[in-house]
Amino acid sequence: MWALMSMSWESRVWAAIAWALFVIGAVVALIVRPRDDYVRYWAFESIGLTIVVIVAWILVKIVSIIFAFTIIIPLALEVLYGLGVFLLWIIGLLKAFSGDYWKPPIVHETSEWFRRVARL
């Protein structure tokens, strides 16, 4: 509750936009609100999410090709992948809009790695 009261409405909206639209939203949010720490946090988390989603998609496709002779394994992997990405996206969207700082597993570590590599 405290975070909701201390965070401006505009910061929460831009943080949600940064998360919801992946890299494009992150870049736009960073351009519009470059000095807002909350928006910057969620923009980098969004970039981390994008990297994780792409790498996971590649891994799912590789495993699906390997197990293509069994129709059920590729199908199950793709359904689980899609459901996982969707749930992660929804939870992050709600957290960003509510004014919370959230550290989703793997995504947060990836965003911190990207921040160090990009020196931002």
Domain ranges of the chain: 23-118
pLDDT at 78: 96
Tally Cβ neighbours within 10 Å of residue 51.
Answer: 18
pTM score, two decimals?
Answer: 0.88
Cα–Cα distance measured from residue 42 to residue 96, given in angstroms and rounded to the nearest whole number: 7
pLDDT tens sequence for the chain (120 residues)? 444 456 799 999 999 999 999 999 999 999 999 999 999 999 999 999 999 999 999 999 999 999 999 999 999 999 999 999 999 999 999 999 999 999 999 999 999 999 999 886
pLDDT, position 5: 52
